[in-house]
Amino acid sequence: MEAEKVDEIIDRHPAKQEVLIQLLLDMQNEFNWIPKQAILRINERLQIPLSQIYRVASFYKAMSLTPRGKHIVNVCLGTACHVRGGPRIMDKVEESLKIKAGKTTQDMKFTLERVNCLGCCALGPVIVVDKDYYGNVTTAKVKEILESYD
């Protein structure tokens, strides 16, 4: 099934090296990460060297070479959020999800990441789930926020 989807995405683009970034972004959007199978298939069908595909896929933050959860939780630990209790929020999120930053829950629901500033320091501490920003987060609010995602 995944192989068919990979081929379908490749078929949407002209078979040229120039489409590599868009192709990888489409793979990322479809699978939430870029499976090795997709990389091998791009290599085979478009004759793009594996080293080049891996270089591009590991350069862009929007792309991941490891499986990611359905929801991405970013906890800000930049200076402003740090002094406003960011580390306590991170501890609480880690405890609630039972994973450490950089990891994905076993049910593939959440990936937890730390960031160094989200550009809204006055709202600190801040967490972002997917594209939803939450400011002035308290440890008491963490569970409620996470439970609002299915």
CB 43 within 8 A of CB 50: yes
Residue from 19, 46, 63, 121 touching ligand FES (CB under 6 A): that is 121
Three-state DSSP state, 1? coil
89: contact with ligand FES by CB under 6 A: no
Rounded-to-integer distance, Cα 109 and Cα 132, Å: 16
73: contact with ligand FES by CB under 6 A: no
Q: Least distance in Å: CB of 81 to ligand FES?
A: 3
> Taking Cα atoms as reference points, which of 96, 108, 106 lies closest to residue 141?
96
Rounded-to-integer distance, Cα 147 and Cα 135, Å: 17
Strand ranges (DSSP E) for the chain? 71-76, 110-115, 127-129, 132-134
Taking the least distance from each CB to ligand FES, the nearer of 53 and 93 is 93
Q: Least distance in Å: CB of 114 to ligand FES?
A: 11
127: contact with ligand FES by CB under 6 A: no
101: contact with ligand FES by CB under 6 A: no
93: contact with ligand FES by CB under 6 A: no
Query: 124: Cβ–Cβ under 8 A, 6 or more apart, which residues?
Result: 76, 78, 80, 81, 83, 84, 85, 86, 135, 136
Residue from 75, 76, 90, 146 touching ligand FES (CB under 6 A): that is 76
Q: Least distance in Å: CB of 1 to ligand FES?
A: 40
State the residues that interact with ligand FES by CB under 6 A: 76, 78-81, 117-118, 120-121, 124, 126
